[in-house]
Amino acid sequence: MLIKKYKNIPLNNLVNLMNNPVKELIAKKFLKIQAQICETLEKADGKGKFSVDHWEKNIGSGITRVMQDGEKIAKAAVNYSFVSGEITPRMYEITGKKEGTYTATGVSSIIHPVNPFVPIIHMNIRYFELSDGTSWFGGGIDLTPHYIDINEAIEFHTGLKKICDKYHPAFYPDFKKWADDYFFIKHRGEARGVGGIFFDRVKPGDKISMESLIEFTNELGNAYPAVYSKILNQKSHLPYGEKEVKWQNFRRSRYVEFNLVWDLGTKFGIESGGNAESILVSMPPVAEWGYNFQPAENTEEYRTMQLLKQKVDWLKLEKTNKNSKTPAFLT
Amino acid sequence: MLIKKYKNIPLNNLVNLMNNPVKELIAKKFLKIQAQICETLEKADGKGKFSVDHWEKNIGSGITRVMQDGEKIAKAAVNYSFVSGEITPRMYEITGKKEGTYTATGVSSIIHPVNPFVPIIHMNIRYFELSDGTSWFGGGIDLTPHYIDINEAIEFHTGLKKICDKYHPAFYPDFKKWADDYFFIKHRGEARGVGGIFFDRVKPGDKISMESLIEFTNELGNAYPAVYSKILNQKSHLPYGEKEVKWQNFRRSRYVEFNLVWDLGTKFGIESGGNAESILVSMPPVAEWGYNFQPAENTEEYRTMQLLKQKVDWLKLEKTNKNSKTPAFLT
């Protein structure tokens, strides 16, 4: 087996491949974010603990941390990795650079909750550097509710906009649109969830400095477990039954479809020979497929589907009454 | 909704796009095979019934027939479709022909059983024709046991060889190898199951006539439900518990991974804008992902994994004792 268990993570060993101070700084900050996310989520869950698996393959190494069967969290994964290799065909497409090598370091995380009324959340921050010195950041946070709660979506987007606005006025509108386009399940004609922000190939330069980009990705990494802990605390006690679990499992299968068919991170991981268990730790604990299942009109499931079939500018929506899950424009 | 229900399938309407006698003959034979498969499987199951959904999209039309929640069959799908369009980039790669149109007609089927000791089975036969008259057949049958039963695998391959040998001595050895290569889950480094036969781009010509190819694909289509009915009857009564269901669901998730990441039929369907519900009806009813799950040594689950990690020439294996599931070369 490729995966070995370590009780104490040899932090310094892990980043010694980084032979320049900026890369080393980013790698260390990302590692710290991974630890921070796990600590915060363990506190929020109250029962579940994260495992620590250190893996090494030809392409690089990483730390996969997984919580399974928590009190509120069904499965959470927080991956840290740094990998390197020859420039891939896709990087050539993006950068126009055919020859040379890349190094990439990043944190990606996903949380599948126990309670169907709690959304799935996903976060990723990553830094790429080519051998000629070209570098860029990518990342994002997005929310995939099984049942869309308008107020929650508005609050989520408001928080993201607040962070983005600190760094560049174009970040939120650009990255919100990018998330809408990216997290779209083309073969189903529906959005994966209520979106969030997504960005790629953001280069330090005129518009924003390297320092600010490091800070921006760090702020996203830190906001992520804080935002989710709040939702977990607000909603994990909500009562639900078999019907809601079935719906949750149907929506989880859409998550599976998106990740395996469309997600570029998953594709990159699989094609570059990454560690399958770490890449596919994003999969839900369970998923169900029901042939041609259609929720009945005027149900919560139906309302969620209606919202997933259009692009919504959440910040333009009035906050609906706290007790109502029906958005103003649907009533 | 794209899908409409028809009680009586307008057979003749469906094949009237076929404006030559060979295409029409094949389309009609394939339609008959679909009906035959459903009839045989309903008899074998004893309780479950197939729904009949007729779909139409820009690309063409088809009939999707699905059984859910049968007595022995958890989910079975039998798709018939005929589609047409501009030559795709992949067809260009294969044929070297850049311009023109194609028509394709085929039957594909998959069965997910209730009992974990019964294997998943998959069959496909398809006929392609380009506007310049070039034509070819593709297809295959393969078995994906949750628990590998050596005797069953040997019997299955013996049966396939017998059919293949009637048409060409190279068919079984070539198509068996093709299946081993094709049904390999690269990112997991394991076979999907015990294989079977797989073929593509088999053109009527010197080696085999159009008539024989029509007969060959028909024989495969007819053998499929017969073989599976026998297995269902032999094994559906075997006792199992939660542990076996959990393992079944883990193996089902590998099936999901293969189909969504590697299967060319699924890719073709999704990229060509096919009907998502019909393409993804191959998904199991339920799937589970367990992070880094390893079966303990000397268990049936462990033995199955050992066999999936190597290419096995089933016909070279001695039939093991009926009461033992351990193959000679593993003891």
pLDDT of residue A318: 64
pLDDT in the model for residue B90: 76
Q: Which residue of B has its CA nearest to A69?
A: B290
Catalytic residue check, A187:
no
Distance from CA of B171 to the nearest CA of A (A): 31
Closest CA–CA distance from residue B268 to any residue of chain A (Å): 12
Give residue-wise pLDDT tens across range A266-288. 987 887 777 899 899 999 999 99
Model confidence at A4, pLDDT cuts 50, 70, 90, reads very low
Residues of B in contact with A110 (CB under 8 A): none
Nearest neighbour of A286 by CB, restricted to B68, B280, B288: B288
Q: Which residues of B touch A276 (CB under 8 A)?
A: 187-188
User: In chain A, which ranges are E strands?
Assistant: 3-5, 53-57, 60-68, 73-86, 101-113, 120-130, 135-144, 184-185, 190-191, 195-202, 286-288
Q: What residues of A are in the B interface, CB distance below 8 Å?
A: 1, 3, 51, 53, 66, 68, 75, 77, 186-188, 249, 253, 256-257, 260-261, 270, 276-277, 279-281, 283-292, 294
Nearest to B23 by CA among B113, B142, B104, B124: B104
Res. A191: pLDDT tops 50: yes
* CB-neighbour burial class of residue A247 (10 A; exposed 0-12, middle 13-18, buried 19+): buried
Closest residue of A to B277, CA-based?
A: A292
Nearest Cβ partner for A270 among B187, B276, B290 = B187
Contacts of B238 (CB under 8 A, 6+ apart): B115, B117
Annotated catalytic residues of B are 122
Model pLDDT for residues A52-63, shown as the tens digit of each residue: 999 888 788 899
- Over its length of 331 residues, how does chain B's per-residue pLDDT go in tens digits? 223 433 343 444 444 445 678 888 999 999 999 999 999 999 999 999 999 999 888 788 899 999 999 999 999 999 999 888 888 777 788 788 888 898 899 999 999 999 999 999 999 999 999 988 889 999 999 999 999 999 999 999 999 999 999 999 999 999 999 999 999 999 999 999 999 999 999 999 878 999 999 999 999 999 999 999 999 999 999 999 999 999 999 999 999 999 999 998 898 788 777 789 989 999 999 999 999 889 999 999 999 999 999 889 999 986 654 445 544 444 3
Q: What is the pLDDT of residue A3?
A: 34
Nearest CA in chain A to B67: A291
Q: Do B276 and A187 touch (CB under 8 A)?
A: yes
Q: What is the mean pLDDT of residues A283-304?
A: 95
SS3 of A323, please?
coil
User: Could you tell me if residue B189 is left (phi over 0), alpha (psi between -120 and 50 degrees) or otherwise beta?
Assistant: left
Kindly report the nearest CA distance between residue B67 and chain A, in angstroms. 9
Tokens of A8: 């104490």
| pTM listed for this prediction | 0.90
Shortest Cα–Cα distance, B41 to chain A (Å): 18
Which of A3, A292, A294 is facing B292, going by the closest CB pair?
A: A3
Residue-level pLDDT at B170: 96
* Phi, psi dihedral angles at A214 (to 5 degrees): -60, -45
Which residue among A66, A256, A286 sits closest to B291, beta carbon to beta carbon? A66
pLDDT at A19: 61
In this predicted structure, what is the pLDDT of residue A57?
81
Residue A256 to residue B261, Cβ atoms within 8 A: no
Higher pLDDT: B14 or A255? It is: A255
Q: What is the pLDDT of residue A13?
A: 46
Query: In this complex, do B280 and A257 lie within 8 Å of one another by their Cβ atoms?
Result: yes
H/E stretch holding B77 reads strand B73-86
For A260, which of B188, B260, B284 is closest by C-beta distance? B260
